[in-house]
Chains A and B, each alone.
Chain A
Amino acid sequence: MSFFKKLKDKFSGSQEQEQTAEKYTEGLKKSRSGFSEKMNNLFARYRKIDEDFFEELEEILIGADVGFDTVMELIDELKMEVKRRNTNEPEALREIITEKFVEIYAGEGETSSELNIQDGLSVILFVGVNGVGKTTTIGKLAHQFKSEGKKVMLAAGDTFRAGAIEQLEVWGERTGVDVIKQAEGSDPAAVMYDAVRAAKSRGADILLCDTAGRLQNKVNLMNELQKVKRVIEREIPDAPHEVLLVVDATTGQNALVQAKTFKEATDVSGIILTKLDGTAKGGIVLAIRKELGVPVKFVGLGEKMDDLQPFDAEKYAYGLFAQAFEQREAEPEEETAE
């Protein structure tokens, strides 16, 4: 059975499955129309695989912000595969590419998008550079946990940016969860201390900790973040149960540096890729995954409260290639036969 078919079958089971698959297809509309249109175009124009073909493919992948080294490796692997299969039919590559995408992603290390949620209190710390959508993501997650019947609390750890505390408070009101805060400009570590204490004494299940956005090359600010994490660790030995790095999907190669530096400083356990709807292709997650082995846990596919979806590499690939896949479905099978 073809790889696409397997993917499709996978998502045409239960209604719920179809719904999330649809969200991916819908949310990735723009990414897809750019990416997959270009792919289709490429496959339509080339009758045989040659250097020019690979060069164009390289450009499409680079255009999707897939890390540079990753693209180079991918192209090399594809070239080998072409040799191995002794083919020069572009069509044969189409599936291999999708497979490779999923393969890179499923590579080494943890791939599960499940969060580490324990009985009793689970603490999740959110980190990232400025303007990636940490606070919004926390709002969306609070909504999700709440609707699962969990007692959620929020910690307003961004005491630096003007209006950040109020922003989190609005989310607290919307979702009906308590926000622990102090005045703007106070020590974020102190806020965390308070929040963990309060969450413990009020018997919360989930504590979502916001932090101020910081560029990863600011040593002092990264130290501050480590301190915040230490305070949480001291209060609850296994905490934070997750440290999630929020990354803007429109970010280019710098996302790799972000992932690396934040991982060193706070031992990031997962990535949330925001703003994947609309314009971004978010190809950089492939590079991050490959270089650092940190799994993507969630993707932001829109502005609504339930637009945060657990990441699934196969669904992602399916979303990206769905159009191409459906077109092929419609075509008679004979076309590729010898």
Chain B
Amino acid sequence: MLYTELTSSAQKEALERFKAKGFPTNKWEEWKYASLKSWNEKDLDWAPSALNVASSAVLQSQNGLTSFHGALPAGVEFSSFDSFLASNPTIAATWEQRFPILDQNSLYDLNTALAVNTQVLWVKAGVTVDQAITHDFIVSAAKASAVQSRLIVYLEENASLTLIERAFTIEGSAEVLSNFVQEIYVNEKANLTYVKEQDLAPNTTHIDHTFITQLSDSQVDLFTFSLNAAFIRNNLHFYSDGENVVSNLNGLYVPGEDQLMDSHTVVDHRKPNSESNELYKGVLLGNATGVFNGKIFVRPDAQKTNAFQSCKNVLASTRATMNTKPQLEIWADDVKCSHGTTTGQLNEEALFYLRSRGISLANARTLLLLAFVQEVIDRVEHEETKLRLTDKIISKIQTSLAI
């Protein structure tokens, strides 16, 4: 490990914490169904070399090095974390008092220790960025590696941004554990739409930690589409810290043969009169494993909270497994909260109906599965992204059902 290059004491301490705990194993409560135990025994390259992959995206992270290409839209700045803090003394003064990162899973520590290139995408007050910013998140390595990436997105008051993230692996890469931490701040009346497309190689493990703090009258529409990878873990954590905050969490995972996809979400309602809507859907193919753990906290001050959570899954194969666990902790008394999870198979009667009209069994299943996932895809307003996701999902389902 590159211990010698760690300069700050915070990094050194974080590394010590990681070394004490190692990668999560299924003995850890939050990692019961999704263990990374095998990574403790691997001989890893902890700082794989930089990539130089051609990409048309304006924002690119290549093995953890994040850069902006082309002209910055008016009112948008892109800088290193250090220079961001230097030009924002108020933020710098309070940075260490930001919400605690509750997820004590050691991977956050690993990222804190080894992420060398933390960048900030910063949208100024009142600025609406017209064109979506596309972020290509690329990993690849010649030998087994752990890649640390870190990005901060900061929206000032009344700012508005759409971010389209495409996480992928370069073909021929050795196995990579991609460990990506994001901290996102959405200030008063700001608006963020964020679509994550996770379509990585069958030997890539991708861990995404996204922490979002929202202040009053802000709205976030977040989408996580998990399409391919050996293992995907999404730790999505919302701090709803204002009034009239709207947090929309949308997730769709389509794990196939030998793939595991795990969504751990937390919505922490800390102030009154806000709402969160969570819709997660999964189609599990082959011998896939899915995990959904959705926590909602409603703090004593958060009266009149509306918090809804729904997680629906279809086991498209008899060999697939889904584990779901909704957790609600409510300390306020005047709130509306609901949750529901379902896991089942395709409706046999509906399949017979479609077949009786001349549609083959494989196509009938595809049609029903697509109808099932469409509810999530249709919420994406960015047309090009919606079409790309639809195509990818149809082709994945068709390929899996054809086997």
Q: Do A and B come from one complex?
A: no
Which residues of A are at the interface with B, using a C-beta cutoff of 8 A?
Answer: none
